[in-house]
Amino acid sequence: MKLIFSAASFLVAMIQVNVAFAQSVEVDVDTQVQPTAIKLPGDGGGIPSTPSQVAPVNFPSSSNTGSFTISWKNVGASVYELWTSTDNKKYYKQVDTTRTSYKAVGMPHGKLWYRVTACNSANRAYCSHTYAGYTTITLPKLGAPTASPSAATRYNERVSVTLKSSTSGADIYYALNNSPAEKKYSAPLTLTQPTTIKFRARKLGYQASNTVTKNFNVTAAPPSFSINAGTYVGEATLRLSTASSGATIHVTNNGQTSTYNGSPIRLSNHGSADKQFKITAWTSKSGTADSAKITNTYTVKPTYAVTTRLIVGGGTLSPTSRMVERGKTATFTVTSQPGYMVNDIVGCGGSLSGNTYKTAAITAPCEVGARFIERYEISTQAGSGGTISPTSRVVKLAQRSTFSIKPNSGYRIALVTGCGGQLSGTTYSTGAVADNCQIKATFIRQYQLTAKANAGGAISPTSITVDSGQKAVFQVTPNNGYRVLKVSGCGGSLNGNRYTSAAASANCQVEASFIKRINVAASVNGPGRLSPDNLVVDAGSSAEFTVLPNSGAKLVNISGCQGVLLDNIYRINTVTSHCTVQANFARWYRVQALASQGGTVSPSYQEAFAGEQVNFTIHADDGYQIKNALGCDGVRDGSHYKTAPVAMDCQIRVYFESLDSANEVIFIHSDLLGSPIAESDQQGVLQ
């Protein structure tokens, strides 16, 4: 095993990041040497003894401050040595002491192993060595320090940099331009060259922070260009300057380098094509680095002269000439004198718009020529209800012109006059103008009458426009199966199928209503009839039929169209669709019942339709019994008598006999209403 002696204490070695470790000296401490008499202070001479091992060595298993106490057994040694290691390989002496404990302060983050050596002589052969375990030291880590400014830009000539830690009491150590030697920060750093600073924070009881690297670009101030790179016409003037006092500006113009003397650099183009200038400039100054090189590219386009000339007087062109970039156009303002106007302008391939003449793209010098002519003004006057466009116009002598006549909504053109013109549609064309003149237009109010037809018919037209005070006529036509119910609106009146409005004074609407006509037919079977035999009525209205049976006939039944029979009137309250009323009539007969003395027959008579059978009930009085019943080809069944199908008026006769044979039988005769009118015996002899 090897033992290392350090020229500095371990605490200082940790703070200065193992700088002291580089100065340590290794000593072989385990090799046995021959005992020699070494007199230690107070040992009285003689051969020293070897102390026992100092086990146990007491220390904490962990620490979060780096400060704690290490103690060991007192074996009566003259001196004790405490050695420590951070890797359990190389050990460094911490202290020589006669005490049996040591107060460790500021131990580094990580594991720390221990060895205690007890000696009675300077001869290491008379020392014992005790190896112990380790303490795990966990320290908080310092936050990274900051630099102000933060090196995010370029600095002219010099910059002062302040380093700062957010942890109170922490020291900052820094190195410049990758130097291996760190220095303790104490005051702001003044930089005059491009510099890299690496720095970190340290404090007792903490791990060192991460290393921060900042690059500061400190140079002479770069040159400034008075104009931006880009395209210029004819000529561009460039000036250079720098913020660094006493600095020199170097400039390269299209490959030619020189020292800038402060005079303007003129970039001119007198040729026929575009010309480029590439300007590169930088600044130098003693005691600081040169600035970065800045390059701007300028394109200068050639120009041509465009001149003007008055061919016929009466106005001006402004300006009288222009220098125009190749490929560009030029504009000139045309101004006529009072009483004149432009007749035409020619030259440079241009065209006139309003009072501006614009040339074509200029590729060579050229001239613009102007002719002026006497002018006249056409004014306009529009009555209420419309407009004339334009409201005025200036024309040449003998020139013709057109105007747009536009009536407002709800109006029409009534009349347009003036300037010898004529109207076609909404366009008014003047004659050849020889003097100032005026166009007048009048308009008339119109109204729109619309027509709406409800279901069941049509009205025509659906819309008509008439002048104020005029009337409109509409044709009203009901569909098949309908009739005109009502026509209203616009103050009009209906005559037949023609509806005529009142004199128009506002927009309005005519509305026609129709009602459906429904056919109610009558169908009759048998001897009788319905009156009328057919009806046509409005939907939703009522209808009535009179029931008229023939003499000797009677209504059997009547139905259809949801009607109701009241006496001899069949009434349909609401007709909603085409339908038929069916009435059935039949011949009817009177069947009279006669009973002899001793009982009754009920009813005394009945009316029956042809083919019907009639039933009678026979009742014998006390002391009598039914003897016989006959008539109408009927059949008696006990006290019931049923006729054969009736085909004529007929009588049935019922005879009773007394249970006492001595009694006389008398027959009672009645009229058609059942009233007694006579009596007879059994042989029919009236009494």
Rounded to the nearest 10°, the torsion over CA 636, 639, 645, 647 is 90
**C-alpha R_g of the chain:** 70
Find all residues with CB under 8 Å of 47, minimum gap 6, and list them: 35, 37
The 8 Å CB, 24+ separation contacts for 21-24 are 21/92, 24/92
Element of type H or E holding 155? strand 154-156
CATH of domain 146-219: 2.60.40
Tokens of 683: 């042989």
As a whole number of Å, the end-to-end CA separation of the chain is 183
Tokens of 282: 């930088």
DSSP state of 188: P
Q: What pLDDT is stored for residue 660 in this prediction? A: 81
DSSP state of 326: T
Which string of DSSP letters, residue by residue, matches 651-682?
Answer: EEEEEEEESSTTSPP-EEEE-TTS-EEEEE-T
Tokens of 332: 């000139």
Helix (H, G, I), strand (E, B) or coil at 213: strand
d(CA 109, CA 217): 36
Handedness of CA 673, 674, 676, 679 (dihedral sign): positive
Q: What pLDDT is stored for residue 677 in this prediction? A: 60
pLDDT tops 80 at residue 666: no
Dmax (CA) for the chain in angstroms is 205
Q: How many CB atoms lie within 10 A of CB 523?
A: 13
pLDDT tops 80 at residue 466: yes
Find all residues with CB under 8 Å of 473, minimum gap 6, and list them: 498, 499, 500, 501
Bond preceding residue 149 cis, omega within 30 of 0: yes
Which string of DSSP letters, residue by residue, matches 606-618?
Answer: EEEETT---EEEE
- Is 566 buried (19+), middle (13-18) or exposed (0-12) by CB count in 10 A? exposed
Q: What pLDDT is stored for residue 16 in this prediction? A: 33
pLDDT tops 70 at residue 45: no
d(CA 629, CA 639): 10
Find all residues with CB under 8 Å of 445, minimum gap 6, and list them: 385, 410, 411, 467, 468
pLDDT tops 60 at residue 20: no
pLDDT tops 70 at residue 9: no
pLDDT in tens, 410-455: 999 999 999 999 999 999 999 999 999 999 999 999 999 999 999 9
DSSP state of 479: P
Q: What pLDDT is stored for residue 484 in this prediction? A: 95
Contact 298, 257 (CB under 8 A): no
CATH of domain 588-680: 2.60.40
Looking at residues 343-358, what average pLDDT do you find?
94
Tokens of 259: 């020292």
d(CA 245, CA 287): 12
Element of type H or E holding 10? helix 10-15
d(CA 397, CA 380): 18
Find all residues with CB under 8 Å of 230, minimum gap 6, and list them: 298, 299
User: What CA–CA distances, in Å, run from 97 to 117, 119, 128, 182, 437?
Assistant: 10, 11, 15, 33, 131
Q: How many CB atoms lie within 10 A of CB 302?
A: 18
d(CA 52, CA 71): 16
Specify the pairing of strand 482-488 against strand 463-467.
unpaired
Q: What is the strand order of the sheet 457-460 is part of?
A: 457-460, 473-478, 498-500, 493-495
CATH class of 224-301: mainly beta
pLDDT tops 50 at residue 245: yes
pLDDT tops 50 at residue 675: no
pLDDT in tens, 88-135: 999 989 899 999 999 998 888 999 999 999 999 888 888 999 888 899
Helix (H, G, I), strand (E, B) or coil at 13: helix
pLDDT in tens, 311-329: 998 999 999 999 888 889 9
Share of the chain above pLDDT 70, in %: 89
Contact 613, 633 (CB under 8 A): no
- Select from 3, 25, 203 the least CA-distant residue to 109: 203
- Select from 127, 134, 164 the least CA-distant residue to 149: 164
Q: % helix / strand / coil in the chain, to the nearest 5?
A: 0, 55, 40
Looking at residues 536-559, what average pLDDT do you find?
93
Helix (H, G, I), strand (E, B) or coil at 434: coil
Looking at residues 170-175, what average pLDDT do you find?
96
d(CA 385, CA 402): 20
pLDDT tops 60 at residue 488: yes
d(CA 104, CA 9): 11
Query: Look-up: residue for tokens 């009205």?
Result: 459
- Correct CATH for 2-137 of 3.40.190.10, 2.60.40.10, 3.40.50.1360, 3.30.200.20: 2.60.40.10
Question: pLDDT averaged over the chain?
Answer: 87
- Phi first, then psi, for residue 15 (nearest 5°) are -65, -35
- Select from 45, 57, 46, 51 the least CA-distant residue to 78: 51
pLDDT in tens, 62-86: 999 889 999 999 999 999 999 999 9
Contact 233, 257 (CB under 8 A): no
Report residue 234's pLDDT band, with 50, 70 and 90 as the boundaries.
confident
pLDDT in tens, 524-533: 999 999 999 9
d(CA 467, CA 447): 6
- Select from 272, 269, 277 the least CA-distant residue to 326: 272
Specify the pairing of strand 2-5 against strand 91-97.
parallel
pLDDT tops 50 at residue 22: no
Q: Is 54 left (phi over 0), alpha (psi -120 to 50) or beta?
A: alpha
